[in-house]
């Protein structure tokens, strides 16, 4: 299950371990990525403080956001993203869309011809919202002007996700 870890202006996708894993293991993995020594993790307004507690205690869901909070005097400036890091972030978001949203998207398009619209209304709203969120996350990645490969990857990802969103909206309005 992928979650987003937010640290200042930086965001990165993180694969969560098994639900019975202690928070200390997650904190250690994030510390390796950010090079922070002391920090707090916050999810849905609650500080994730008990390192011995399993991560299931914090009710993380797919696409949840965990924020990193540090004391102002302990904050090293986040490393600037490299082109490869941005390409990896785009690829991770696109992989999440393909794995988590394309199968229900395909099923929804099939169900439109067999089930009444009223029964599919919630699923339409859910899929449209999740696709829009993914589109905005990819669109929020802004490569430097001279990073042609990252720009091309971002453009292709936006086009693919927008295509999925257009298909679902066109089928719904038909």
Query: CATH no. for residue 20?
Result: 3.10.20.90
Nearest residue to 102 via CA among 141, 110, 1 = 110
pLDDT in tens, 110-168: 999 899 989 999 999 999 999 999 999 999 988 889 999 999 999 999 999 999 999 99
The reported pLDDT for the residue numbered 64 is 86
**Cβ atoms < 10 Å from Cβ of 128:** 17
> Could you say which of 47, 74, 101 is where a domain stops?
74
Q: Are residues 11 and 70 in the same domain?
A: yes
Q: Are residues 87 and 165 in the same domain?
A: yes
Q: Are residues 132 and 168 in the same domain?
A: yes
How does residue 12 score in pLDDT terms, banded at 50, 70 and 90?
confident
> Could you say which of 74, 109, 132 is where a domain stops?
74
Distance CA 70, CA 10 (A): 14
Q: Label the pairing between strands 10-15 and 40-43.
A: unpaired
> Could you say which of 22, 57, 74 is where a domain stops?
74
Q: Are residues 23 and 47 in the same domain?
A: yes
State which residues form the domain around 10: 2-74
Q: Are residues 104 and 45 in the same domain?
A: no
Q: Are residues 125 and 157 in the same domain?
A: yes
Q: Are residues 6 and 54 in the same domain?
A: yes
How does residue 35 score in pLDDT terms, banded at 50, 70 and 90?
confident
């Amino acid at each position: 299950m992928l979650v987003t870890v937010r640290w200042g202006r930086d965001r990165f996708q993180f694969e969560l371990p098994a639900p019975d894993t202690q928070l200390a293991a997650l904190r250690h993995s994030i510390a390796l990525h950010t090079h922070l020594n002391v920090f707090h993790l916050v999810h849905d307004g609650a500080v994730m403080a008990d390192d011995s507690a399993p991560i299931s205690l914090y009710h993380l869901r797919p696409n949840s956001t965990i924020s990193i909070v540090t004391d102002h005097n302990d904050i090293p400036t986040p490393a600037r993203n490299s082109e490869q890091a941005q390409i990896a972030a785009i690829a991770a978001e696109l992989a999440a869309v393909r794995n988590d949203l394309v199968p229900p998207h395909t099923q929804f398009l099939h169900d439109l011809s067999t089930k009444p619209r009223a029964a599919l209304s919630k699923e339409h709203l859910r899929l449209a919202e999740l696709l829009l969120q993914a589109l905005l996350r990819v669109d929020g990645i802004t490569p430097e002007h001279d990073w042609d490969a990252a720009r091309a990857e971002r453009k292709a990802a936006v086009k693919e996700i927008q295509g999925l969103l257009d298909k679902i909206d066109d089928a719904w309005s038909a």
